[in-house]
Amino acid sequence: MPELPEVEVIRQGLLPHICGQHLEGVRTSGKALRYPYPALSTLIGKQLVDLQRRAKYLLFRFDNGQVLLWHLGMSGQFHAGCITHPPRRHEHVRLDWSNDCSLRYCDARRFGYLGLSHTSALMQHAWLRHLGPEPLGAAFDADYLFACCRSRRAPIKHVLMDASVVVGVGNIYAAESLFRSGIHPARASNRIAFPRIAALCANIRSVLQEAIAAGGSTIRDFMHIDGRSGYFAHDFRVYGRQEQPCVRCGRTIRRIVQQGRSTCYCPGCQH
Ligand SMILES: [Zn+2]
């Protein structure tokens, strides 16, 4: 599943292909994605003024104030190519632009979804209104995270993965940032001192920024970008490393299951 760094890299990669262009044509496969298609034809003739991201949603902003929200689901991919290119495998949406770029959305499992909103109502949209701050934004800082943790007894990993606390910290990045911070994933959130929370906040930002940087340098030819090509940061220190020695202390990495998701941690380094 694409995580926040993957979606951010997709955004950065698509932006130069389509920003400033007018939408000239729309076609869908007719096969349902997770939700029914919005009235995409209302965007024809409109100019794309920006492509933004909120959590794992791409936000296509048009000059008439309409915003197209797009979530890649489990297996969604965008391909930016020429309008003459034949349909791709599992292609469900096609957006043709005034520079002859054709953006194709392919999704084998069809868990992705898209919807339309207006700028004035965007933050109250049902998909966005419950979301906490962006992990790379100014609102997510040590004071904020500490306040969230003080009021919760839940294991710290659950709090990090709660989208109402902070968006986009998925299973991988929660495990990695907890390892870097020396915090056990099952530790009660309200039993962690401020300096450790401050370190955790900084580490969440750095693991995500490193993953974005790694992804940006990986993708040279954006024509072949796809959301399922795997995670960009292949130097995970704990994620997926159960039964292997810790890179820091040499003890065996353990795996526990929390909320149905596995978490790897080092019993020597994380308390
Ligand atoms: Zn260790």
3-state DSSP assignment of residue 136: coil
261 is catalytic: yes
CA 257 – ligand 1 centroid, Å = 19
DSSP one-letter string for 178-203: HHHHT--TTSBGGGS-HHHHHHHHHH
The CATH code of domain 4-124 reads 3.20.190.10
**What letter would DSSP give residue 43?**
G
157 is catalytic: no
Q: Which member of 5, 6, 8, 56 is catalytic?
A: 56
CA 166 – ligand 1 centroid, Å = 27
Which amino acid does the sequence have at 29? S
- Equal fold, 4-124 vs 142-265: no
Residue pair 211/168 in contact (Cβ under 8 Å)? The answer is no
Q: Domain segments of the chain: what residues?
A: 4-124, 142-265
Interval 107-129: pLDDT, tens: 999 999 999 999 999 999 999 99
- Cα-Cα-Cα-Cα dihedral sign, residues 79, 80, 83, 85: negative
* Least-confidence region, from 77-81, 159-163, 220-224: 220-224
CA 190 – ligand 1 centroid, Å = 24
- Between 79 and 59, the more confident residue is 59
243 is catalytic: no
CA 248 – ligand 1 centroid, Å = 5
CA 250 – ligand 1 centroid, Å = 6
As a whole number of angstroms, the longest Cα–Cα distance in the chain is: 60
Q: Residues lining ligand 1 (ion), CB within 5 A?
A: 246, 248-249, 266, 268-269
CA 251 – ligand 1 centroid, Å = 6
Interval 187-222: pLDDT, tens: 999 999 999 999 999 999 999 998 888 875 544 333
Non-local (6+) Cβ contacts of 155 within 8 A are 185, 186, 187, 188, 189, 258
CA 200 – ligand 1 centroid, Å = 17
State how far the Cα of 53 lies from the Cα of 1, in Å rounded to an integer.
16
pTM: 0.90
Q: 142-265: which CATH topology?
A: Helicase, Ruva Protein; domain 3 (1.10.8)
pLDDT of 77 reads 87
Q: Which member of 152, 205, 255, 261 is catalytic?
A: 261
3 is catalytic: yes
pLDDT of 213 reads 83
Residue burial 212-246, b: 16+ Cβ < 10 Å; e: rest: bebbeeebeebeebbbbeebbbeebbbbebeeeeb
